[in-house]
Amino acid sequence: MLNKLAIALIFFGVIFSAIFASFIPIDWTNFSISIVVLIIGISLQRRGMKNALKTETNKNNTLDDFREQIIKLKKAVEKYSENLSSEISENIDEEISSIMPEVENFRFAIVEEIGVANFTELISVYAKGERLIRRAVSATIDEYFEDAKRYFKDSVNLLEKSVEMIDKFREEIK
Amino acid sequence: MSAIKKYKTYSDVTPLGVAVGIFIGVLMTASFSYAALVLGFSTNGSPVAAVLGWGIMRAIFKRGTIIENNIIQTVASGINTSTAGVIFTVPVLLIRGANFDFIWVLAACVAGAILGVGFIIPLRKQMIDIDRLRFPSGTAIASILKSPAEGMKKSKLLIYGAALSATVYLITRFPDLGLPQIIPSSFDLNSIIGLPPYFKNIWAVSLLSVGIGYIAGRNGLFVLAGGLLAYWLIAPFFIGFNLLPENVEIAKAADFVHSQMTRPVGIGMLIGGSLMSIVLIIPAIKATIKSFNVKAISGAGSDELSIKVLYKVIAAAFVLFLLAGYFTSDIDFLTAVIVSVVSTFWLMFAGIIVSQATGMTDWTPISGMSLIAVAILMMFLTPEQISTAVLIGAGVSVAIAESADMMQDLKTGHLVGNFPVQQQKLQLFVAGLGPVISLSVMLLIWNSGGTDPVTGAKLPGFGPGTEIEAPQAVALGATIDAVQNGDVPVAKFLTGAIIGGALSFTAIPGLGVIMGISMYLSMKYILPYGLGSLISVFMIRRKGKKWSEKWAVPFAAGLILGEALLIIVFALLKVGGVI
């Protein structure tokens, strides 16, 4: 209910503030009222999002979920670092993509849990590992299997480091 | 499809790859420069560069990898991307008969190119690794790079998409080839459904826009929403209730609302939205810079260009920028310093705005940001010092374009696993080449005007009254006149900035930027783009995101590729005098 009200206020706040800003000369009084409505809507929306995170049913895409997905990815990467062949080169991009965590979906919840600076630190390390995995995929598609295995192997260290960082942040939260 | 191996290890930067990239970049810059003078817009050459690079490497040199091709495409687009910045600004100096030294114009543009790349590099981690901005063209190019080797099914989808959009574009250009018109380049849907003309319902026949909209996905819907707000709500509201100034003709009312009322608010939203986004990510930027020189565990060295090297490059480019401004007009050194510092801050900020807008929507509001740059500079300069304002404005435009292109290429690099430091070094190395080519083409065309048979006076090669109208430069000239007359809608920018800034705090990151750009753009491209986004959202709901990424994105990339390829072909035909 709160979220619907917030969206309605944002919707009308944007429309009317844009209309009153477009007047020649600008209708400052009505523009100011519209901006206040917009800001109230945004405040309600942000409060609603924070409340939603606190309820158990909405705790998706949290730090723990991210950790789980990294471990799953690490297991797959370890497998590829041992065994690669031309049979899998056509499908490897799809297979890796299907298990790679989508960072954008985790952002809001994780930032709420550990703060933006820690999130940046964590993703910086994870993204380096991710890049090596993507490079390994490109090398596999191009059938440079020995290089691809090496990239996969190197990425495992970075994924492990990401998990260690998550564990450290979880300890700090406790 | 197996790669043709010529290396012991997986290759990325090779002298041949860089040379091929430069070759493609120079060719594209020459043809795009001419097309931008004629048409008033430039296009993203990266998809074409990716395909040409792959073709040249495989067909002629029998080698090449995905990463190597990413490098070729980075180099080519790094050269080509400065075209718009040069062609939208510098011609105004020639058209207005201003005194200037070509070499200092070149210096300003080269400095701008280097500053644009240098300033945006520290934000790569934020925009790509952390914010995960979509960069639709960058995503499409990654798909193009991987498709030939990923199996026939994906390649076929890419080819079908390219063939379809190229065919449609070709048919829309039939009149240029002396053939009867079958499909127009745009059509007014209101002539069919009978809405009043002030509901702008003109659709560009552009599958490229549909493809970009598809890859942009949900963000594209907000662009569509902003367009509908500006064109289908605000414009009819003001016209329907007769709230326009009395001297506005009804036939031109919709255009008046856009140019004088909603567009300035949109530009303000872009600025306010970006400013607030930057404020919100300051803690993240600090953490990013802290981690800048951390060595990668892979042993491949640092992932990013060293911040110390960046500082030195930026300082050198700034000095060049300052000297160009100082030696162009009769201005004192202090004014030159102030103008250079202000311009450098603006180009850094505008580069971030444009990169964010590109990342979220694929639209690059370069011309708007350039017009503001010149408007800002004119506040510090006299009407006699217009050459300095335009010259620095040109540098700023080039810088903004380079910023957006660098980020787009880095996104592609991220998706194929390239190390950013390699792309960053190469783009810094080649960015200055583009202005050399663009300015040479511009001077060549200017000098091709011939002489008046009666008076013997030299005739302009482009500008009003000639076959090559240089519309963006003419628009810049009009802005300069408006600034000199004190006619700048500062209050509208401010209101827009307040709305855009507030929207940055909603649950949708960057909403202020997205809505701002949609109020700034022409509706005829927003509609097919929005259609692409609607299809994307619908297909993801029906078939799932994985299906969309696997099958629909290569097809959408093909749509982008086919039309972009034909745009270049037609530009070359124009250059060659065939059409």
pLDDT tens, B326-376?
Answer: 888 778 999 999 999 999 988 888 888 888 888 888 877 777 777 788 888
Residue B543 near chain A (CB below 8 Å) = no
| Residue B299 pLDDT greater than 60, yes or no | no
Q: Output the pLDDT for position B63.
A: 84
| Residue A56 pLDDT greater than 70, yes or no | no
Residue B2 lies in a domain: no
| Residue B539 pLDDT greater than 70, yes or no | yes
Domains: count for chain B: 1
For the purposes of burial, counting CB atoms within 10 Å of the CB of B545, is it exposed (0-12), middle (13-18) or buried (19 or more)? middle
Residue B302 lies in a domain: no
Rounded CA gap, B60 and B540, in Å? 40
Q: Output the pLDDT for position B149.
A: 64
Chain B residues with beta carbon closer than 8 angstroms to that of A131 = 303, 414, 417-419
pLDDT tier, A43 (very low <50, low <70, confident <90, very high otherwise): very high
Residue A8 near chain B (CB below 8 Å) = no
Q: Which residues pair with B186 in a beta bridge?
A: B204
On the question of a cis peptide bond just before residue A25, with omega within 30 degrees of 0, the verdict is yes
Rounded CA gap, B224 and B236, in Å? 17
| Residue B526 pLDDT greater than 60, yes or no | yes
Per-residue pLDDT of B32-88, as tens digits, reads: 888 778 766 666 778 888 888 888 888 888 888 999 999 999 999 999 998 888 988
For the purposes of burial, counting CB atoms within 10 Å of the CB of A15, is it exposed (0-12), middle (13-18) or buried (19 or more)? middle
Q: If you average pLDDT over residues B221-229, what whole number do you get?
A: 92
Pull the structure tokens for residue A48. 């609603």
| Residue B5 pLDDT greater than 70, yes or no | no
Would you call B491 and A25 a contact, using CB atoms and an 8 Å cutoff?
A: yes
Would you call A142 and B66 a contact, using CB atoms and an 8 Å cutoff?
A: yes
Q: Output the pLDDT for position B32.
A: 80
Per-residue pLDDT of A114-165, as tens digits, reads: 888 889 889 989 999 999 999 999 999 888 999 999 999 999 999 999 999 9
pLDDT, chain B, mean: 85
Give the residue among A94, A67, A76 at the shortest CA–CA distance from B154: A94
Give the residue among B365, B281, B546, B421 at the shortest CA–CA distance from A97: B546
Q: What is the ipTM of this complex?
A: 0.85
Residue B177 lies in a domain: yes
Q: Which of B290-304, B494-508, B557-571 has the lowest mean pLDDT?
A: B290-304
| Residue B439 pLDDT greater than 70, yes or no | yes
For residue A19, give the nearest of B66, B234, B288 by CB distance: B234
Q: If you average pLDDT over residues B92-116, what whole number do you get?
A: 91
Q: Alpha helices of B366-432 — where are they, by DSSP H?
A: 366-378, 386-416, 420-430
Q: Residue A12 belongs to what H/E stretch?
A: helix A2-22
Would you call A127 and B129 a contact, using CB atoms and an 8 Å cutoff?
A: yes
Chain A residues with beta carbon closer than 8 angstroms to that of B506 = 10, 42, 45
Rounded CA gap, B51 and B69, in Å? 9
CB B98 within 8 A of CB B297: no
Residue B300 lies in a domain: no
Residue B495 near chain A (CB below 8 Å) = yes
Q: Output the pLDDT for position B298.
A: 41
Q: Which residue has the higher pLDDT, A41 or A48?
A: A41
Q: Which of B421-435, B441-455, B486-500 has the lowest mean pLDDT?
A: B441-455
pLDDT tier, A8 (very low <50, low <70, confident <90, very high otherwise): very high
Q: Output the pLDDT for position B289.
A: 61
* Cβ neighbours for B309, distance < 8 A, ≥ 6 positions apart: none
pLDDT tier, A7 (very low <50, low <70, confident <90, very high otherwise): very high
Q: Output the pLDDT for position B284.
A: 61
Would you call A148 and B515 a contact, using CB atoms and an 8 Å cutoff?
A: no
Per-residue pLDDT of B9-19, as tens digits, reads: 888 899 999 99
User: Best-predicted range by mean pLDDT among A9-23, B125-139, B182-196?
Assistant: A9-23
Q: Output the pLDDT for position B152.
A: 65
Chain B residues with beta carbon closer than 8 angstroms to that of A158 = 297
Residue B182 lies in a domain: yes
Q: Which of residues 16-35 of A touch B (CB under 8 A)?
A: 17-19, 21-26, 31, 35
- Choose, out of A2, A20, A22, the residue to mutate when testing the contact with B (most B CBs < 10 Å): A22
Q: Output the pLDDT for position B3.
A: 42
Residue B264 lies in a domain: yes
Chain A residues with beta carbon closer than 8 angstroms to that of B283 = 115-117, 120
| Residue B2 pLDDT greater than 50, yes or no | no
Percentage of chain B with pLDDT > 70? 93
Per-residue pLDDT of B475-496, as tens digits, reads: 788 778 878 887 788 899 999 9
Give the residue among B401, B423, B402 at the shortest CA–CA distance from B412: B423
Domain ranges, residue B77: 15-290+307-575
Q: Output the pLDDT for position B492.
A: 93
Q: If you average pLDDT over residues B158-165, what whole number do you get?
A: 92
Residue B295 lies in a domain: no
Q: Output the pLDDT for position B292.
A: 55
| Residue A37 pLDDT greater than 80, yes or no | yes
| Residue B300 pLDDT greater than 70, yes or no | no
CB B552 within 8 A of CB B216: no
Residue B542 lies in a domain: yes
